[in-house]
């Protein structure tokens, strides 16, 4: 069962990125399950790494698409991705060095990120990327 309930308002309307956002939700859910089940450090670290590396891949895809259409807020959006990555990386280091400290914090951070970033930043690119998505 999914912990994060997908809402209509999370959809950007850009098919590729909606699919990638769904995949991120799946990975964050897997991370939640690992924490809930008090899994070993190795298991929790694996799921954390999965979320973080997929998020980095997804951010790069978004940045490439925004660049391709000369999206006017590309710099702000990229800066926000950088901020999110370094924030997540900081919490991730806590987990690596001080397990299990930081695990719930990272889960919460990622969940909030998903909701806020998609709704506040990602949805702004939709009108610009509609054409890009079709080609
Ligand atoms: Fe984004």
Per residue in 35-85, pLDDT (tens digit) is 999 999 999 999 999 999 999 999 999 999 999 999 999 999 999 999 999
Per-residue pLDDT at 3: 76
Per-residue pLDDT at 26: 93
> 132 vs 52, which has greater pLDDT?
52
Count Cβ atoms within 10 A of the Cβ of residue 124 and give its class: 0-12 exposed, 13-18 middle, 19 or more buried: middle
Q: How far is the CA of 21 from the centre of ligand 1 (A)?
A: 10
Average pLDDT over residues 28-38: 92
Q: How confident is the model at residue 111 (pLDDT cuts 50, 70, 90)?
A: confident
Tally of residues, the chain: 135
Q: How far is the CA of 122 from the centre of ligand 1 (A)?
A: 5
Name all domains of the chain by residue range, CATH numbers in brackets.
21-134 (1.20.120.50)
Q: Ramachandran region of residue 53, left (φ > 0), alpha (ψ -120 to 50) or beta?
A: alpha
The residue behind tokens 């909701």 is 115
Q: How far is the CA of 79 from the centre of ligand 1 (A)?
A: 10
Q: How far is the CA of 91 from the centre of ligand 1 (A)?
A: 20
Average pLDDT over residues 21-44: 93
Q: How far is the CA of 30 from the centre of ligand 1 (A)?
A: 21
**Crossing angle (nearest 10°) for helices 15-36 and 103-120:** 160
Per-residue pLDDT at 45: 92
- The answer to which of 14-18, 45-49, 110-114 has the lowest mean pLDDT is 110-114
């Amino acid at each position: 069962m999914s912990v994060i309930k997908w809402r209509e308002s999370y959809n950007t309307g850009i098919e590729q990125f909606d699919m990638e956002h769904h995949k991120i939700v799946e990975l964050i859910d897997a991370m939640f399950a690992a924490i809930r089940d008090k899994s070993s450090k190795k298991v929790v670290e694996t799921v954390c790494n999965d979320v973080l590396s997929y998020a980095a891949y997804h951010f790069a895809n978004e940045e490439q698409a925004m660049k391709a259409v000369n999206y006017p807020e590309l710099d702000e959006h990229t800066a926000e991705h950088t901020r999110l990555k370094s924030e997540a990386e900081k919490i991730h280091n806590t987990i690596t060095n001080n397990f299990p400290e930081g695990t719930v914090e990272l889960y919460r951070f990622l969940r909030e990120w998903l909701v806020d970033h998609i709704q506040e930043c990602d949805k702004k690119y939709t009108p610009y990327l509609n054409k890009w998505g079709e080609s």
